[in-house]
Structures are given as C-alpha cells and as structure tokens.
Amino acid sequence: MFSKKSIRKNFLFKLIIASALLILIFSSILYLSIEKSIYYEKHQDLLHFAKNIANNKSILDLGTSNPDSFLGLNIEIIYLKKQLEDIGLYEKTKNKRTYLTLIYPFNIDNNTYLKITKEITITREILNKILNYIFIINIFGFGLVIIYAIGLSKMLVEPVKVFNSKLANMNEYIIKPINTKELPLEFETLGLTLNLLIRRIQNYVKYQKELFIGTAHELKTPLAVIKLKNQVTLIKIRTPEEYIEALQVTNKTIDEMNNIVSNILNIGRQEGAQLEKPVQVDVIEILKNKANDFKLLAINDNKNLKLDFQPNGFMAMIQVNLLNQIVQNFLQNALKFTPKGKSVTIQSSQDNIGLRIEVIDEGCGIDESVDLFAPFKRQGTKSGVGLGLFLAKSAADTLGANISIKNRTDGVDGTIAILQLNSKLSCIIPQNN
C-alpha cells in the first residue's frame, strides 16, 4: 500500500501523531480542570469549617444550614512540635476509602492544630468514572481520526492515481489531454503542466513523422537530378565544357542537399535548446534588442522596420534562445517578402492571456489553406528550405505559447505573424513602472 518513501504514509503518520497529541493534551487539560474544580470546592468547605471552629472554638456555629456537609467529617485537635508554615492539605486512601485531610492552626501559642478529615470516596469514584469516560472517548476519537486520516490521504492521492492511469494507457497513437475541470483546484496547475507535456509529445511525434517524410522527399529529388544528369552525360563522349557544366549542376544540387541537411541539424540543436533552464527576463527588452539588430539590415535593404512595444516592461520565466529563434524567424520572413520601400512592424501588447507579439509585413500574403508550419512547406518565389516556421512552431510549443500566421485585413497586402505567450504557463509577472 505504501512505498518506502510514500508521501501518503508520511502524511498519515504525522496527522495521526499530531491528532493523538492534541487529543491527549485536550483530555488532560479537561480532566485536570474538573479535578481541580472539585477539589477546590472540597478544600473551601474544609477551610470554612476550620475557620469557624478556630474563631468560635466550637463546631456549633459553622455558618452552614446544610447538614449533609457534616457527613463523613472527622474533627480532631492535634499537637505538633514544629509550627507549620502553611495550611496542610493532603489525600490518602485507607481500606478502599478515600479521605481528604486539612491541617489548620487552632492555637499558635501551644502549637495546636485542627485536623479535619472528610471522606471523599464518592467524589473520587466520580472522578475515576470521568477519567474512564474520557479514556474511552479518546480511544473512540483516535479511531475516528485514523479512519479520517486514511480517507483524507486517499482522497489527496486520488488525482495522482487518475494521472497515472491516464498516462499509463497512453501511447504515441492514443494521447489525450487530461480534463482539468474534473481535478481539485490544487492539482489544476499539475494538470495544465501534464497537458502541456502531452501536447509537446503529440507535436514531437507529428513533426518527427512529417520531418522524416519531408526529408526523404526533399533528398530524393536532388539525388534523382544528379543521377539523371550523370546518365545523360555518359550516353556519349562530351566536350570538356559539357563535363564542366554537368559537374557544376551536380555541385549546385549537392549544395542544396547540404542546405537541407544543415537545417535538419538545426532541429537537433533546437531540441537541445528545449532543455535550457528558464530564466526570469524582461521580454520587452529582448524584443527591443532583436529588433535593433534587424533594423540595420532593413535600412541596408531599403526597408523600414517600425517598433511599438507595450507595456514598457514584462517579466517572464522563459527559455530565451527559443524566444529569440521565433522572433528572428518572424523578422527574417517579413523582411524577405516585403518589397523595397515598404515597412515591417514589430509590436507587442498585453492582454488577458499574457503577452501578444506581432510582426506585420507588406508582402504578398499567404495561402491560408496551406499548413506553413509543416516541414519543407514554402510559399512565394524566395529561396529557402521550408524549415524555419517548423522550428518556430516547435519552439513555441516548448514555451507553452501559441503561434499563427494570417493575412492582413486592413486593406493592405501582407501577413501578420503572431506569438501569444501564455502567462499562466510561462510564469509571466507584469513589471510595475
């Protein structure tokens, strides 16, 4: 039922010990209070009798109208060689009878004292019964505490068992997110984290398959070109110039293949970046630095890069290299497809989800029916392997962010690339300014 380092076992042990101590302390205080209260009354009665006898030198006038108070009362005058410093009160048991004795000064001059003894057997029996009842109630209460602790610990670990059951039955073909609405509030964050992990696994499996198929297809085409060109060249004897031309075509095709392989290696490097430890940074400051780097490139290419960052500061626990990779890809594509003399805008704004980052260009737009985040998907006539957005999507999934690209709807040709950072998953903390 419990493992060696079981949290439930540790919780049960501490709860039972704490409850037992609480019951013991409360019961002890209760019993001692009752006992002290009863004995105080008995002491006051004996003290009242002693004072009246000492003052009146008689027991005829004790100032009480209750004859029952004299039952079991024994009064003696004793002589002590040594004077008592205080009133003596003690209890003793004889022949199964319990007596309470008070020693009170009667005549200080000749060291005589009153010895008043009252039988309190019935009182002692009542106190013993009270103690027994408290003991029985404690045992019963302790049993209820154990039952409650077992039930409570079981209830606390039940969501973990649900997680374990759902995750144990998953494989790469059947991966479903956990319904966080059915979880207790304390486990909601864990459920969100597990769903994020599940989504990463889903994307990883999906991308790996797409990457494998796309890589095979992309490499197959240049290899076919090289083979066909070589076969045509070998059909007959060629001039040196024709052989040189054939080798140049082959080298060009090999360079294209090298470019594909290099981009595939970047995927491996990105997987290493996904293991990077998140750090607390100012996202707005990162965006400004990245935008300033591309501003020089835009000016050199006769294009204008506009900046509009709101709020002034936005702190987040985030993997910086992955964020840089996404923003860099957005800006590269925007500047690549924006004609000379046109503008590209990078802006940010805070919403109820987190931080929304947008890169807006004035290019030719996209075909929104095409999944541009799939590997080796390209649009337009510009050169490229088609892995940039694939890598950006993978990075966004690792950050727990959403990424999208859509056409502009403000009457201007171009696209809007959007990165939505989720404050709940990215641990974003607004910075006061």
pLDDT digits (tens, 9 = 90+) for 142-162: 888 888 888 877 777 777 777
Q: Is residue 339 part of a domain?
A: yes
Q: Say what the pLDDT of residue 266 is.
A: 62
Give the count of beta carbons closer than 10 Å to the beta carbon of residue 311. 14
d(CA 68, CA 51) in angstroms, rounded, equals 19
Cα–Cα distance for residue pair 332/347, rounded to 1 Å: 15
At residue 357, the pLDDT reads 93
- Look at residues 144, 159, 184 and tell me which one is the last residue of a structural domain: 144
State which of 205-214, 275-284, 325-334 shows the largest mean pLDDT: 325-334
Highest mean pLDDT, choosing among 167-171, 268-272, 297-301? 297-301
Whether the per-residue pLDDT at 24 is higher than 70: the answer is yes
Q: Over pLDDT 90: what percentage of the chain?
A: 9
The full DSSP string for 209-253 is HHHHHHHHHHHHHHHHHHHHHHHHHHSS---HHHHHHHHHHHHHH
Question: Would you state the structure tokens that stand for residue 208, as one six-digit string?
Answer: 């790996």
Are residues 123 and 47 located together in one domain of the fold?
A: yes
Beta strand pairing call for 304-309 and 343-350: parallel
Residue 262 falls inside a structural domain: no
pLDDT score recorded for residue 151: 82
Q: Are residues 107 and 178 in the same domain?
A: no
Of 14-18, 211-215, 338-342, 371-375, the poorest mean pLDDT is in: 211-215
433 and 342 within one domain: yes
Shared domain for 111 and 15, answered yes or no, is: yes
CA dihedral 236, 239, 243, 249 (to 10 degrees): -100
CATH number of the domain encompassing residue 381? 3.30.565.10
pLDDT for 206-239, tens place per residue? 766 766 666 666 667 677 777 777 787 778 777 8
Choose between 382 and 102: higher pLDDT.
102
Q: Residue 415's beta-bridge partner residues?
A: 407
Query: In this structure, are 192 and 135 located in the same domain?
Result: no
Among residues 162, 180, 200, the one where a domain terminates is: 200
Q: Band of the pLDDT at 106, cuts 50, 70, 90?
A: confident
pLDDT of res. 96: 81
**Neighbour-count burial for 232-251, b at 16+ CB within 10 Å, e otherwise:** ebeeeeeeeeeeeebeeebe
Residue 270 in any domain: the answer is no
Q: How far apart are CA 232 and CA 250, in angstroms?
A: 12
Residues 100 and 186 in one domain: no
Whether cis (ω within 30° of 0) applies to the bond prior to 67 is no
Query: Above 50 in pLDDT, residue 339?
Result: yes
Q: Which of 128, 144, 160 is the last residue of a domain?
A: 144
- Of the candidates 340, 325, 337, 339, the one whose C-alpha atom is nearest the C-alpha of residue 403 is 325
| 345 has pLDDT over 90 | yes
pLDDT recorded at residue 224: 76
Sign of CA dihedral 361, 362, 367, 368: positive
Inside any domain, residue 253? no
Residues 287 and 407 reside in one and the same domain: yes
158 neighbors 186 (Cβ within 8 angstroms): no
Cβ-based neighbours of 167, under 8 Å, separated by 6 or more: 194
> What average pLDDT does this structure show over 380-396?
69
Asked, for residue 23, whether it belongs to a domain, the answer is: yes
Asked if 289 and 364 sit in the same domain, the reply is: yes
Alpha carbons 335 and 350: distance in angstroms, whole number: 25
154 domain-assigned: no
Using pLDDT thresholds of 50, 70 and 90, give the confidence band for residue 72. low
Residue 282 lies in a domain: yes
Query: Which pLDDT tens digit goes with each residue over 359-372?
Result: 999 988 888 778 77
Domain membership flag for residue 395: yes
Domain total in the chain: 3
Whether residue 188 sits in one domain with residue 132: no
Predicted TM-score (pTM) of the model is 0.47
Residues 194 and 308 placed together within one structural domain of the fold: no
Say if residue 66's pLDDT is above 60: no
Whether 163 contacts 176, CB under 8 Å:
no
pLDDT given for residue 39 in this prediction: 82
Residues 285 and 389 in one domain: yes
Average pLDDT, the chain: 78
**Mean pLDDT highest for which of 129-138, 157-166, 313-322?**
129-138
Do 178 and 140 sit in the same domain of this protein? no
For residues 328-342, give the mean pLDDT.
Answer: 89
Q: How many of the other CB atoms lie within 10 Å of CB of 131? A: 14
Lowest-confidence pick of 17-31, 111-125, 244-258, 344-358:
244-258
pLDDT at residue 109 above 80? no
Over residues 180-201, the pLDDT tens digits come to: 777 767 677 777 777 777 777 7
CA neighbor of 433 nearest in space, from 282, 278, 279: 282
Identify the domain containing residue 179 by its residue range: 171-200
